[in-house]
Structure 1
């Protein structure tokens, strides 16, 4: 039992911020993000009691995304959340202009861009988390970058060179 607790505490310390950011990005509400966060780490504890998790980071990302989606499905079925109630994301990376553009992307592009650039996962790791093929992830990254580039050019923002943003 002591090993489970120490493993749990270690994973909590290492991945707490990552899970929080992902929850806030998906829910766009700090209260909902906290609920999802608690659910994710409760599930982590239950999973650790069963045995060792081979890739805890991928497992946490997958469970977090799934829990966020479950929350939204629940909200849509219950009609309890209006668009006016959705607040701006309280936690944003340093470059809020780029962050805002990323948040305007369709979810399939937003998720892979976020996981690739902000959580620094590889295409293979993202494929494992999202349960898609790596080639699909690479295509979504390419299309997401193209959409961001188009948004930057449309805004006429001379602050950024697209090569500077996407390497």
Structure 2
């Protein structure tokens, strides 16, 4: 680790964000824990030096996205069920209103919404972390917000029924 903190301090500070993003990506506590462990293992192996704390956070969240993608690729090679079908089913979130609705969003809207509102990332940061263009992120945020608004009003029984 660099001089900005011990591994234990970094884990304590960023584990909640990494776990939340991993859970938003995977919809599974077990898979989210596996992704989180892999992210911090990669941090130890790579031992990058960060100029600012924001760079460390961005690096960790980008690695989290990559590890979740790696998990989906490995699951796809092991299962006969198409990946799109597994991702279209909403995860089993804990009851709780807005968070439950966010986690039931389709995969491509769930992550930008999560990063924007729960991790306080800008559109540019989300684009960099997910490998999408800023305009794509803006569009996904807009559509995700619309879906959440409708679901929270009670217009639709589930967010995904509008897709």
TM-score, length of structure 2 as denominator length: 0.76
Tell whether the 8 Å contact from 1:47 to 1:53 is kept in structure 2 after alignment.
Answer: no
How many angstroms apart in 2 are the aligned matches of 1:136 and 1:32?
27
Match of 1:134 in 2: 134
Tell whether the 8 Å contact from 1:24 to 1:89 is kept in structure 2 after alignment.
Answer: no
Q: Which runs of 5+ in 2 are unaligned?
A: 158-163
Q: Secondary structure at the match of 2:49?
A: coil
2:12 aligned with 1:13: yes
Match of 2:119 in 1: 119
How many angstroms apart in 2 are the aligned matches of 1:31 and 1:78?
17
Number of aligned residues: 147
Q: Secondary structure at the match of 2:63?
A: helix
Q: Secondary structure at the match of 2:116?
A: helix
Match of 1:39 in 2: 38
Instruction: Label 1:80 to 1:24 Cα distance change in 2 as closer, same or farther (>3 A).
Output: farther
How many angstroms apart in 2 are the aligned matches of 1:123 and 1:62?
14
Note the C-alpha offset of 1:71. Answer: 0.9
Note the C-alpha offset of 1:18. Answer: 0.7
Tell whether the 8 Å contact from 1:15 to 1:57 is kept in structure 2 after alignment.
Answer: yes
Match of 2:146 in 1: 146
How many angstroms apart in 2 are the aligned matches of 1:100 and 1:155?
14
Q: Which runs of 5+ in 1 are unaligned?
A: 157-167
How many angstroms apart in 1 are the aligned matches of 2:23 and 2:11?
17
How many angstroms apart in 2 are the aligned matches of 1:146 and 1:31?
30
Match of 2:70 in 1: 70
Q: Give 1 or 2 for the bigger CA radius of gyration.
A: 1
Question: After the TM superposition, which of the residue ranges 56-65 and 10-19 deviates more from structure 2?
Answer: 10-19
How many angstroms apart in 2 are the aligned matches of 1:109 and 1:29?
17
Instruction: Label 1:89 to 1:146 Cα distance change in 2 as closer, same or farther (>3 A).
Output: closer
How many angstroms apart in 2 are the aligned matches of 1:116 and 1:131?
15
Note the C-alpha offset of 1:4. Answer: 6.5
Instruction: Label 1:5 to 1:147 Cα distance change in 2 as closer, same or farther (>3 A).
Output: closer
Alignment partner of 2:50 out of 50, 53, 72: 53
Note the C-alpha offset of 1:107. Answer: 1.3
